[in-house]
Amino acid sequence: MSSERDPGFSTLAIHAGAQPDPSTGARATPIYQTTSYVFDDVDHAAALFNLETFGNIYTRIGNPTQAVLEERVAALEGGTAGLAVASGHAAQHLIFHTLLETGDEFIAGRQLYGGSINQFNVSFKKCDWNVVWADADDPSSFEAALTDKTRAIFIESLANPGGVVIDIEAIAKVAKQAGVPLIVDNTIATPYLCRPIEHGADIVVHSLTKFLGGHGNSIGGMIVDCGTFDWLASGKYPTLSEPCESYHGIRLAETFGTFAFAIACRVLGLRDLGPCIAPMNAFLILTGIETLPLRMQRHSDTALQVARWLEQHDKVAWVSYAGLDGNRYKTLAEKYCPKGAGALFTFGLKGGYDAGVSLVSHVELFSHLANIGDTRSLIIHPASTTHRQLSDEQRALAGAGDDVVRLSIGLEDPDDIIADLDQALANA
Protein backbone atom coordinates (compact mmCIF):
# COMPACT_ATOMS: atom_id res chain seq x y z
CA MET A 1 0.00 0.00 0.00
CA SER A 2 1.39 3.42 -1.00
CA SER A 3 2.57 5.59 1.88
CA GLU A 4 0.64 8.48 0.31
CA ARG A 5 -2.67 6.64 0.61
CA ASP A 6 -4.83 7.12 3.71
CA PRO A 7 -5.82 3.66 4.95
CA GLY A 8 -9.50 2.80 5.13
CA PHE A 9 -11.46 2.10 8.29
CA SER A 10 -11.18 -1.69 8.10
CA THR A 11 -7.43 -1.46 7.53
CA LEU A 12 -7.03 0.82 10.55
CA ALA A 13 -9.14 -1.52 12.67
CA ILE A 14 -6.62 -4.29 12.02
CA HIS A 15 -3.30 -2.46 11.74
CA ALA A 16 -3.35 0.94 13.47
CA GLY A 17 -0.77 1.19 16.24
CA ALA A 18 0.60 -2.33 15.72
CA GLN A 19 3.88 -3.66 14.36
CA PRO A 20 5.44 -7.13 14.57
CA ASP A 21 7.14 -7.55 17.94
CA PRO A 22 10.77 -6.38 17.45
CA SER A 23 12.22 -9.10 19.70
CA THR A 24 10.33 -12.17 18.49
CA GLY A 25 8.65 -11.18 15.24
CA ALA A 26 5.23 -12.05 16.70
CA ARG A 27 2.53 -10.69 14.39
CA ALA A 28 -0.21 -10.34 17.04
CA THR A 29 0.40 -7.67 19.66
CA PRO A 30 1.84 -9.46 22.71
CA ILE A 31 0.32 -9.29 26.18
CA TYR A 32 2.99 -7.40 28.10
CA GLN A 33 2.15 -8.87 31.49
CA THR A 34 4.61 -6.82 33.52
CA THR A 35 4.42 -4.18 36.21
CA SER A 36 7.56 -2.20 35.35
CA TYR A 37 10.31 -1.57 32.79
CA VAL A 38 14.12 -1.35 32.91
CA PHE A 39 15.59 2.10 32.20
CA ASP A 40 18.53 2.52 29.83
CA ASP A 41 20.40 4.58 32.41
CA VAL A 42 19.85 7.27 35.04
CA ASP A 43 19.45 10.02 32.44
CA HIS A 44 16.83 8.00 30.59
CA ALA A 45 14.89 7.45 33.80
CA ALA A 46 15.02 11.15 34.65
CA ALA A 47 13.80 12.13 31.18
CA LEU A 48 10.84 9.77 31.48
CA PHE A 49 9.81 11.08 34.90
CA ASN A 50 10.17 14.70 33.71
CA LEU A 51 7.94 14.07 30.64
CA GLU A 52 10.89 14.97 28.42
CA THR A 53 10.65 11.71 26.50
CA PHE A 54 8.00 9.07 25.98
CA GLY A 55 8.37 5.51 27.20
CA ASN A 56 7.34 2.98 29.79
CA ILE A 57 7.76 3.47 33.53
CA TYR A 58 5.06 1.49 35.33
CA THR A 59 1.96 -0.27 34.03
CA ARG A 60 -0.34 1.86 36.18
CA ILE A 61 0.61 4.74 33.86
CA GLY A 62 1.06 2.88 30.59
CA ASN A 63 1.81 -0.47 28.99
CA PRO A 64 2.89 -1.47 25.45
CA THR A 65 -0.25 -3.54 24.84
CA GLN A 66 -2.35 -0.64 26.07
CA ALA A 67 -0.43 1.76 23.82
CA VAL A 68 -1.45 -0.14 20.67
CA LEU A 69 -5.08 -0.07 21.79
CA GLU A 70 -4.89 3.68 22.43
CA GLU A 71 -3.38 4.45 19.04
CA ARG A 72 -5.89 2.23 17.25
CA VAL A 73 -9.03 3.77 18.78
CA ALA A 74 -7.64 7.30 18.36
CA ALA A 75 -7.00 6.53 14.68
CA LEU A 76 -10.52 5.15 14.18
CA GLU A 77 -12.03 8.25 15.82
CA GLY A 78 -9.72 10.68 14.00
CA GLY A 79 -8.30 12.01 17.27
CA THR A 80 -4.77 13.01 18.26
CA ALA A 81 -4.26 10.62 21.19
CA GLY A 82 -6.05 8.09 23.36
CA LEU A 83 -5.91 6.84 26.92
CA ALA A 84 -7.20 3.38 27.81
CA VAL A 85 -8.36 2.81 31.38
CA ALA A 86 -10.15 0.23 33.49
CA SER A 87 -13.76 0.98 32.47
CA GLY A 88 -16.03 3.53 30.85
CA HIS A 89 -16.90 4.94 34.26
CA ALA A 90 -13.19 5.31 35.04
CA ALA A 91 -12.74 7.19 31.76
CA GLN A 92 -15.52 9.61 32.68
CA HIS A 93 -14.03 10.10 36.15
CA LEU A 94 -10.61 10.98 34.70
CA ILE A 95 -12.13 13.37 32.16
CA PHE A 96 -13.91 15.39 34.81
CA HIS A 97 -11.01 15.13 37.27
CA THR A 98 -8.93 16.89 34.61
CA LEU A 99 -11.53 19.49 33.63
CA LEU A 100 -13.16 20.50 36.90
CA GLU A 101 -12.22 22.24 40.12
CA THR A 102 -14.41 22.08 43.22
CA GLY A 103 -17.66 23.97 42.69
CA ASP A 104 -17.53 23.75 38.90
CA GLU A 105 -20.49 22.63 36.78
CA PHE A 106 -21.02 20.64 33.62
CA ILE A 107 -24.15 20.20 31.53
CA ALA A 108 -25.31 16.73 30.51
CA GLY A 109 -28.12 15.58 28.27
CA ARG A 110 -30.51 13.61 30.45
CA GLN A 111 -30.88 10.89 27.78
CA LEU A 112 -28.00 8.85 29.19
CA TYR A 113 -27.09 5.41 30.44
CA GLY A 114 -28.53 5.02 33.96
CA GLY A 115 -25.12 4.37 35.49
CA SER A 116 -23.83 7.69 34.12
CA ILE A 117 -26.85 9.50 35.52
CA ASN A 118 -26.14 8.03 38.94
CA GLN A 119 -22.40 8.76 38.71
CA PHE A 120 -23.09 12.38 37.84
CA ASN A 121 -25.92 12.91 40.31
CA VAL A 122 -24.50 11.11 43.34
CA SER A 123 -20.82 10.18 43.23
CA PHE A 124 -19.53 13.38 41.62
CA LYS A 125 -21.23 15.47 44.30
CA LYS A 126 -18.63 14.16 46.77
CA CYS A 127 -16.03 16.00 44.69
CA ASP A 128 -18.28 19.09 44.48
CA TRP A 129 -18.60 18.59 40.72
CA ASN A 130 -22.14 19.58 39.86
CA VAL A 131 -24.21 18.36 36.94
CA VAL A 132 -26.92 20.51 35.33
CA TRP A 133 -29.36 18.52 33.24
CA ALA A 134 -30.54 19.50 29.77
CA ASP A 135 -32.79 17.85 27.19
CA ALA A 136 -30.65 16.27 24.46
CA ASP A 137 -33.64 16.54 22.11
CA ASP A 138 -33.57 20.33 22.54
CA PRO A 139 -30.17 21.94 21.88
CA SER A 140 -31.46 25.29 23.15
CA SER A 141 -31.83 23.75 26.63
CA PHE A 142 -28.04 23.47 26.82
CA GLU A 143 -27.66 27.15 26.08
CA ALA A 144 -30.25 27.97 28.74
CA ALA A 145 -28.31 25.88 31.31
CA LEU A 146 -25.00 27.71 30.83
CA THR A 147 -23.54 29.65 33.77
CA ASP A 148 -20.15 31.15 34.52
CA LYS A 149 -19.34 27.89 36.32
CA THR A 150 -19.95 25.68 33.27
CA ARG A 151 -16.81 23.84 32.17
CA ALA A 152 -18.09 21.16 29.75
CA ILE A 153 -21.08 19.67 27.95
CA PHE A 154 -21.61 15.88 27.91
CA ILE A 155 -23.86 13.88 25.56
CA GLU A 156 -24.11 10.42 24.00
CA SER A 157 -24.12 10.11 20.20
CA LEU A 158 -26.69 7.29 20.35
CA ALA A 159 -28.34 7.45 23.75
CA ASN A 160 -28.73 4.34 25.92
CA PRO A 161 -31.31 2.84 26.23
CA GLY A 162 -33.79 4.65 24.02
CA GLY A 163 -32.13 4.64 20.61
CA VAL A 164 -32.11 8.45 20.65
CA VAL A 165 -29.88 10.08 18.00
CA ILE A 166 -28.43 13.34 19.28
CA ASP A 167 -27.92 16.40 17.08
CA ILE A 168 -24.21 16.68 17.84
CA GLU A 169 -23.53 19.65 15.57
CA ALA A 170 -26.24 21.78 17.16
CA ILE A 171 -24.98 21.10 20.67
CA ALA A 172 -21.35 21.56 19.56
CA LYS A 173 -22.30 25.04 18.39
CA VAL A 174 -23.57 25.86 21.90
CA ALA A 175 -20.35 24.52 23.44
CA LYS A 176 -18.14 26.47 21.04
CA GLN A 177 -19.96 29.73 21.66
CA ALA A 178 -19.62 29.17 25.41
CA GLY A 179 -15.92 28.31 25.12
CA VAL A 180 -16.27 24.88 26.75
CA PRO A 181 -15.43 21.42 25.37
CA LEU A 182 -18.05 19.02 24.07
CA ILE A 183 -17.63 15.46 25.38
CA VAL A 184 -19.40 12.74 23.38
CA ASP A 185 -19.90 9.19 24.62
CA ASN A 186 -19.67 7.19 21.39
CA THR A 187 -19.99 3.73 22.95
CA ILE A 188 -23.15 2.59 21.19
CA ALA A 189 -22.40 3.98 17.73
CA THR A 190 -18.64 3.28 17.69
CA PRO A 191 -16.53 5.18 15.15
CA TYR A 192 -17.75 2.78 12.46
CA LEU A 193 -21.25 4.29 12.57
CA CYS A 194 -20.44 7.82 13.82
CA ARG A 195 -17.32 9.95 14.23
CA PRO A 196 -18.24 12.76 16.65
CA ILE A 197 -15.04 14.71 15.93
CA GLU A 198 -16.41 15.41 12.45
CA HIS A 199 -19.43 17.09 14.03
CA GLY A 200 -17.71 19.24 16.67
CA ALA A 201 -16.70 16.96 19.55
CA ASP A 202 -13.56 17.86 21.52
CA ILE A 203 -13.33 14.70 23.64
CA VAL A 204 -14.75 11.25 22.85
CA VAL A 205 -15.28 8.61 25.53
CA HIS A 206 -16.01 4.89 25.20
CA SER A 207 -16.86 1.92 27.28
CA LEU A 208 -14.56 -0.52 25.48
CA THR A 209 -16.51 -3.25 27.24
CA LYS A 210 -19.32 -2.91 24.73
CA PHE A 211 -19.12 -2.89 20.92
CA LEU A 212 -15.43 -2.09 20.49
CA GLY A 213 -14.42 -5.21 22.43
CA GLY A 214 -17.58 -6.84 21.21
CA HIS A 215 -17.38 -10.25 22.86
CA GLY A 216 -18.47 -9.67 26.47
CA ASN A 217 -15.16 -10.90 27.88
CA SER A 218 -13.29 -7.84 29.13
CA ILE A 219 -13.88 -4.43 30.71
CA GLY A 220 -12.19 -1.22 29.63
CA GLY A 221 -12.69 2.45 28.88
CA MET A 222 -11.14 4.93 26.45
CA ILE A 223 -10.62 8.69 26.32
CA VAL A 224 -9.88 10.16 22.89
CA ASP A 225 -8.42 13.65 22.70
CA CYS A 226 -9.70 15.23 19.49
CA GLY A 227 -7.04 17.95 19.61
CA THR A 228 -9.59 20.63 18.76
CA PHE A 229 -9.93 22.64 21.98
CA ASP A 230 -7.76 25.61 23.03
CA TRP A 231 -7.06 24.98 26.72
CA LEU A 232 -5.16 28.26 27.10
CA ALA A 233 -7.87 30.59 25.80
CA SER A 234 -9.93 31.24 28.92
CA GLY A 235 -8.11 30.31 32.12
CA LYS A 236 -11.00 27.97 32.99
CA TYR A 237 -8.81 24.85 32.92
CA PRO A 238 -5.87 25.39 35.29
CA THR A 239 -4.86 21.72 35.25
CA LEU A 240 -3.85 22.24 31.62
CA SER A 241 -2.99 25.92 31.46
CA GLU A 242 -1.24 26.66 34.77
CA PRO A 243 2.23 25.51 35.95
CA CYS A 244 2.01 21.88 37.08
CA GLU A 245 3.57 21.28 40.48
CA SER A 246 4.00 17.57 39.73
CA TYR A 247 6.32 18.31 36.78
CA HIS A 248 8.53 21.27 37.74
CA GLY A 249 6.06 23.92 36.64
CA ILE A 250 5.53 22.95 33.01
CA ARG A 251 2.27 24.01 31.42
CA LEU A 252 0.81 20.88 29.89
CA ALA A 253 -1.20 22.71 27.22
CA GLU A 254 1.88 24.61 26.07
CA THR A 255 4.18 21.60 26.13
CA PHE A 256 1.91 19.02 24.50
CA GLY A 257 -0.42 21.11 22.32
CA THR A 258 -3.13 19.15 20.52
CA PHE A 259 -2.78 16.04 22.70
CA ALA A 260 -2.36 17.84 26.04
CA PHE A 261 -5.70 16.66 27.40
CA ALA A 262 -4.84 12.98 26.93
CA ILE A 263 -1.44 13.57 28.55
CA ALA A 264 -3.01 15.34 31.54
CA CYS A 265 -5.48 12.49 32.05
CA ARG A 266 -2.59 10.02 32.02
CA VAL A 267 0.17 11.72 34.03
CA LEU A 268 -2.12 13.27 36.65
CA GLY A 269 -5.45 11.40 36.76
CA LEU A 270 -4.38 7.87 35.86
CA ARG A 271 -1.11 8.18 37.78
CA ASP A 272 -2.72 9.34 41.01
CA LEU A 273 -6.16 7.70 40.92
CA GLY A 274 -4.93 4.45 39.41
CA PRO A 275 -7.77 2.96 37.29
CA CYS A 276 -5.42 1.23 34.85
CA ILE A 277 -6.53 -1.33 32.29
CA ALA A 278 -5.17 -4.87 32.58
CA PRO A 279 -2.82 -5.86 29.72
CA MET A 280 -4.93 -8.98 29.10
CA ASN A 281 -8.08 -6.85 28.71
CA ALA A 282 -6.28 -4.49 26.34
CA PHE A 283 -5.25 -7.50 24.24
CA LEU A 284 -8.77 -8.97 24.12
CA ILE A 285 -10.31 -5.62 23.17
CA LEU A 286 -7.69 -5.12 20.45
CA THR A 287 -8.62 -8.49 19.02
CA GLY A 288 -12.29 -7.54 19.06
CA ILE A 289 -11.67 -4.26 17.24
CA GLU A 290 -10.19 -6.14 14.27
CA THR A 291 -13.70 -7.27 13.30
CA LEU A 292 -15.53 -4.08 14.34
CA PRO A 293 -16.65 -3.04 10.81
CA LEU A 294 -18.06 -6.48 10.04
CA ARG A 295 -19.80 -6.79 13.40
CA MET A 296 -21.35 -3.33 13.49
CA GLN A 297 -22.80 -3.65 10.02
CA ARG A 298 -24.32 -7.04 10.88
CA HIS A 299 -25.61 -5.73 14.23
CA SER A 300 -27.31 -2.79 12.51
CA ASP A 301 -28.78 -4.76 9.62
CA THR A 302 -30.27 -7.41 11.90
CA ALA A 303 -31.55 -4.86 14.43
CA LEU A 304 -33.52 -3.13 11.68
CA GLN A 305 -35.04 -6.46 10.63
CA VAL A 306 -36.03 -7.31 14.22
CA ALA A 307 -37.43 -3.82 14.87
CA ARG A 308 -39.62 -4.04 11.78
CA TRP A 309 -40.97 -7.40 12.95
CA LEU A 310 -41.73 -6.09 16.44
CA GLU A 311 -43.62 -3.11 14.99
CA GLN A 312 -46.20 -5.56 13.63
CA HIS A 313 -46.64 -7.62 16.83
CA ASP A 314 -49.99 -7.27 18.60
CA LYS A 315 -48.41 -7.26 22.10
CA VAL A 316 -46.02 -4.43 21.25
CA ALA A 317 -47.21 -0.87 21.81
CA TRP A 318 -44.28 0.93 20.16
CA VAL A 319 -40.72 0.46 18.90
CA SER A 320 -37.98 3.10 19.22
CA TYR A 321 -35.32 2.44 16.60
CA ALA A 322 -33.93 5.27 14.52
CA GLY A 323 -33.60 3.10 11.43
CA LEU A 324 -37.36 2.65 11.11
CA ASP A 325 -39.35 4.67 8.60
CA GLY A 326 -41.39 7.24 10.47
CA ASN A 327 -39.13 7.27 13.54
CA ARG A 328 -38.59 10.79 14.83
CA TYR A 329 -34.80 10.30 14.72
CA LYS A 330 -34.61 8.82 11.21
CA THR A 331 -33.33 12.04 9.61
CA LEU A 332 -30.67 12.53 12.30
CA ALA A 333 -29.65 8.89 11.96
CA GLU A 334 -29.15 9.31 8.22
CA LYS A 335 -26.92 12.31 8.92
CA TYR A 336 -24.84 11.01 11.84
CA CYS A 337 -25.03 7.22 11.32
CA PRO A 338 -25.46 6.68 7.58
CA LYS A 339 -24.28 3.03 7.69
CA GLY A 340 -26.96 2.00 10.19
CA ALA A 341 -28.61 2.92 13.47
CA GLY A 342 -26.76 0.39 15.62
CA ALA A 343 -27.66 -2.73 17.58
CA LEU A 344 -29.47 -1.17 20.54
CA PHE A 345 -33.13 -0.23 20.73
CA THR A 346 -36.15 -0.31 22.99
CA PHE A 347 -39.78 -1.25 22.62
CA GLY A 348 -42.82 -1.01 24.84
CA LEU A 349 -45.13 -3.82 25.86
CA LYS A 350 -48.87 -3.23 26.16
CA GLY A 351 -48.83 -5.13 29.45
CA GLY A 352 -46.45 -2.64 31.10
CA TYR A 353 -44.05 -3.48 33.93
CA ASP A 354 -45.32 -7.01 34.61
CA ALA A 355 -45.21 -7.92 30.92
CA GLY A 356 -41.61 -6.71 30.70
CA VAL A 357 -40.53 -8.82 33.67
CA SER A 358 -42.35 -11.83 32.24
CA LEU A 359 -40.82 -11.42 28.77
CA VAL A 360 -37.23 -11.46 30.00
CA SER A 361 -38.07 -14.58 32.01
CA HIS A 362 -39.21 -16.51 28.92
CA VAL A 363 -36.46 -15.85 26.36
CA GLU A 364 -34.17 -18.77 25.48
CA LEU A 365 -31.68 -17.54 22.86
CA PHE A 366 -31.44 -14.05 24.35
CA SER A 367 -29.36 -13.63 27.51
CA HIS A 368 -30.98 -11.62 30.30
CA LEU A 369 -28.12 -9.55 31.69
CA ALA A 370 -26.88 -6.00 32.24
CA ASN A 371 -24.62 -5.46 29.28
CA ILE A 372 -24.74 -4.46 25.62
CA GLY A 373 -22.49 -4.89 22.62
CA ASP A 374 -21.92 -8.64 22.76
CA THR A 375 -21.87 -11.09 19.84
CA ARG A 376 -24.84 -12.66 21.65
CA SER A 377 -28.30 -11.07 21.68
CA LEU A 378 -29.06 -9.53 25.06
CA ILE A 379 -32.28 -8.38 26.72
CA ILE A 380 -33.12 -6.42 29.84
CA HIS A 381 -36.04 -4.64 31.47
CA PRO A 382 -34.36 -1.36 32.53
CA ALA A 383 -37.00 -0.26 35.06
CA SER A 384 -36.33 -3.32 37.20
CA THR A 385 -32.54 -3.41 36.70
CA THR A 386 -30.17 -0.83 35.20
CA HIS A 387 -32.41 2.19 35.89
CA ARG A 388 -34.08 1.03 39.10
CA GLN A 389 -32.04 3.46 41.21
CA LEU A 390 -33.79 6.34 39.44
CA SER A 391 -37.15 7.86 40.29
CA ASP A 392 -40.18 7.15 38.08
CA GLU A 393 -39.80 10.59 36.52
CA GLN A 394 -36.08 10.12 35.88
CA ARG A 395 -36.68 6.72 34.31
CA ALA A 396 -39.32 8.14 32.01
CA LEU A 397 -37.07 11.03 30.97
CA ALA A 398 -34.20 8.62 30.30
CA GLY A 399 -36.40 6.44 28.09
CA ALA A 400 -36.62 3.62 30.63
CA GLY A 401 -40.28 3.64 31.68
CA ASP A 402 -42.10 0.68 33.19
CA ASP A 403 -43.13 -0.84 29.84
CA VAL A 404 -39.69 -0.56 28.22
CA VAL A 405 -37.62 -3.55 27.16
CA ARG A 406 -34.11 -3.00 25.79
CA LEU A 407 -32.52 -5.26 23.19
CA SER A 408 -28.90 -5.47 22.13
CA ILE A 409 -29.06 -7.44 18.91
CA GLY A 410 -26.25 -9.93 18.42
CA LEU A 411 -24.77 -11.80 15.49
CA GLU A 412 -27.01 -14.86 15.45
CA ASP A 413 -29.19 -15.67 12.44
CA PRO A 414 -31.95 -13.05 12.27
CA ASP A 415 -34.68 -15.71 11.94
CA ASP A 416 -33.52 -17.36 15.18
CA ILE A 417 -33.58 -14.03 17.03
CA ILE A 418 -37.11 -13.32 15.84
CA ALA A 419 -38.28 -16.85 16.66
CA ASP A 420 -37.05 -16.49 20.24
CA LEU A 421 -38.86 -13.19 20.71
CA ASP A 422 -41.99 -14.69 19.15
CA GLN A 423 -42.15 -17.62 21.59
CA ALA A 424 -41.29 -15.41 24.59
CA LEU A 425 -44.03 -12.92 23.70
CA ALA A 426 -46.49 -15.78 23.27
CA ASN A 427 -45.62 -17.18 26.71
CA ALA A 428 -45.30 -13.89 28.57
Strand order across the beta sheet in which 105-109 lies? 81-85, 221-225, 203-207, 182-185, 150-156, 105-109, 130-134
Q: Say if residue 387's pLDDT is above 80.
A: no
Q: Which fold has domain 9-288?
A: Aspartate Aminotransferase; domain 2 (3.40.640)
Taking domain 294-427, whether its CATH number is 3.90.1150.10 is answered by: yes
Q: Say if residue 3's pLDDT is above 70.
A: no
Domain ranges of the chain: 9-288, 294-427
**Three-state SS annotation for the chain:** CCCCCCCCHHHHHHHCCCCCCCCCCCCCCCCCCCCECCCCCHHHHHHHHCCCCCCCCECCCCCHHHHHHHHHHHHHHCCCEEEEECCHHHHHHHHHHHHCCCCCEEEEECCCCHHHHHHHHCHHHHHCCEEEEECCCCHHHHHHHCCCCEEEEEEECEECCCCEECCHHHHHHHHHHHCCCEEEECCCCHHHHCCHHHHCCCEEEEECCCCCCCCCCCCCEEEEECCCCCCCCCCCCHHHHCCEHHHCCECHHHHHHHHHHHHHHHHHHHHHHCCCCCHHHHHHHHHHHCCHHHHHHHHHHHHHHHHHHHHCCCCEEEEECCCCCCCCCHHHHHHHCCCCCCCEEEEEECCHHHHHHHHHHHCCCCEECCCCCCCCCEEECHHHCCCCCCCHHHHHHCCCCCCEEEEECCCCCHHHHHHHHHHHHHHC
Instruction: Tell me the pLDDT tens digit for each residue of 39-72.
Output: 999 999 999 999 999 999 999 999 999 999 999 9
> What average pLDDT does this structure show over 276-301?
98
Instruction: Tell me the pLDDT tens digit for each residue of 82-126.
Output: 999 999 999 999 999 999 999 999 999 999 988 899 999 999 999
pLDDT on residue 398: 66
Q: Say if residue 1's pLDDT is above 60.
A: no
Instruction: Tell me the pLDDT tens digit for each residue of 149-197.
Output: 999 999 999 998 777 999 999 999 999 999 999 999 999 999 999 999 9
Decide: residue 47, CB within 10 A, 0-12 exposed, 13-18 middle, 19+ buried. middle
pTM recorded for the entire structure: 0.95
> What average pLDDT does this structure show over 209-225?
98
Instruction: Tell me the pLDDT tens digit for each residue of 322-367.
Output: 999 999 999 999 999 999 999 999 999 998 888 998 999 999 999 9
> What average pLDDT does this structure show over 21-30?
94
Question: What pLDDT band is residue 241 in, cutting at 50, 70 and 90?
Answer: very high
> What average pLDDT does this structure show over 386-391?
71
pLDDT on residue 392: 77
Instruction: Tell me the pLDDT tens digit for each residue of 307-316.
Output: 999 999 999 9
